Chain A
């Protein structure tokens, strides 16, 4: 049983294309995230959704549009892909119920390569 699953694992595409990455969590968490990890392993938060509502949008270009159809899903759509978008994208989820914020559980990552 994979707790946070994202697809695809690898994505190679040409500049200018539009692509989507899907994410699903079966942990019953109320918060989901997208992170971008660059070639130097730096992890930066892009978006955070709580109960399907956008909480954090960290100065990400408008070409990136997250969509949360329900609490268990947070998809990432990217328009007009650029070379600089090449990175590993991680989906994560956490719970804010109970005593407050808790650790995030991460998916396996999607390695996006724009050529």
Chain B
């Protein structure tokens, strides 16, 4: 259902620091996970993905960690910049194109 009564979690980070955004997923059958970034007034944009046969994947300034034991996903952003300010979503895919999004975390970068 909808996130009635829930507030969007906010993470405030100083420019240049590293950011860590966490996500708990629900379906142990999920084998593909994606992090999206959504800027104001735009659609979600792909950042990085990871499949269940891996526990870590690195991109440019971003790293995703997957812990299947506790069904936890994290996104690490190195040297956070003002342009990183956005809402970040993790998404899980148990197959059959049924991608489910987490509630999102708002990242605020303080100059």
Within 8 A of A (CB), among B1-34: 1-4, 6-8, 32, 34
Interface size class, chain A: 20 to 34
Within 8 A of B (CB), among A57-115: 90, 92, 94, 96, 100-109
Are B6 and A40 touching (Cβ within 8 A)?
Answer: yes
A interface: dominant SS: strand
Are B101 and A90 touching (Cβ within 8 A)?
Answer: no
- A residues within 8 Å of B by Cβ? 4, 31, 33, 35, 38, 40-45, 48, 50, 55-56, 90, 92, 94, 96, 100-109
Are A90 and B43 touching (Cβ within 8 A)?
Answer: yes
Are A96 and B42 touching (Cβ within 8 A)?
Answer: no
Are B8 and A40 touching (Cβ within 8 A)?
Answer: yes
User: CA A38 – CA B87 in complex, angstroms?
Assistant: 14
User: CA A45 – CA B96 in complex, angstroms?
Assistant: 13
Are A41 and B8 touching (Cβ within 8 A)?
Answer: yes
Pick the contact of B98: A41, A48, A90, A100 (CB < 8 A): A48
Is the CB of B111 closer than 8 A to any CB of chain A? no
Are B97 and A42 touching (Cβ within 8 A)?
Answer: no
Is the CB of B103 closer than 8 A to any CB of chain A? yes
Are B2 and A101 touching (Cβ within 8 A)?
Answer: no
Interface size on B, residues (CB 8 A): 30
Provide the residues of chain A in CB contact with B93, threshold 8 Å: 101
User: CA A50 – CA B97 in complex, angstroms?
Assistant: 9
B43 vs chain A, min Cβ distance (A): 3
Are A105 and B3 touching (Cβ within 8 A)?
Answer: no
Provide the residues of chain B in CB contact with A4, threshold 8 Å: 43
User: CA A33 – CA B101 in complex, angstroms?
Assistant: 13
User: CA A35 – CA B43 in complex, angstroms?
Assistant: 11
Is the CB of B59 closer than 8 A to any CB of chain A? no
Are A107 and B46 touching (Cβ within 8 A)?
Answer: no
Within 8 A of A (CB), among B82-111: 87, 89, 93, 95-101, 103-104
B4 to chain A: closest residue by CB: A40
Are B6 and A56 touching (Cβ within 8 A)?
Answer: no
Are A106 and B97 touching (Cβ within 8 A)?
Answer: no
Provide the residues of chain A in CB contact with B103, threshold 8 Å: 40-42
